[in-house]
Amino acid sequence: MAIDVENIGPGHKIELYVKADCPYCAQAQAFYRSKSWAFESYDAQRDPTIKRRMLHISSGNPTTPAIVIDGNYVQSGWGKPPRG
């Protein structure tokens, strides 16, 4: 069953691999802030180590934001359908 990244509820570990100029990354971050759900953002644009980690987690998908919930890669992109 696919996880709906907009309806997971509070209390989950949310990680976002983002790029500074990505509007979809900004939308995802704004959404989680509006819900007061804690999340960590990692800069996959400027940090080569983070970018390598993102590509490993996402099986090579370079699309941002890459979203990880509770340690599990869920999707790349934001919106319905996901765009990035």
pLDDT tens string 26-51: 999 999 999 999 999 999 999 999 99
pLDDT at 1: 56
Residue 23 lies in a domain: yes
CA 58 – CA 70 distance, rounded (Å) = 15
Assign residue 20 the CATH number of its domain.
3.40.30.10
Q: Determine if the pTM surpasses 0.75.
A: yes
In the chain, the percentage of residues whose pLDDT exceeds 90 is 86
pLDDT at 31: 96
Residue 84 lies in a domain: no
Region 62-71 average pLDDT? 96
What number of CA atoms fall less than 13 Å from residue 57's CA on the CB side? 25
With a cut of 80, say whether residue 75 has pLDDT above it. yes
Count: domains in the chain: 1
Is residue 22 very low, low, confident or very high in pLDDT (cuts 50, 70, 90)? very high
Residue range(s) defining the domain that contains residue 56? 14-76
- Residue 78, CA distances (Å) to 8, 48, 49 in order: 14, 22, 23
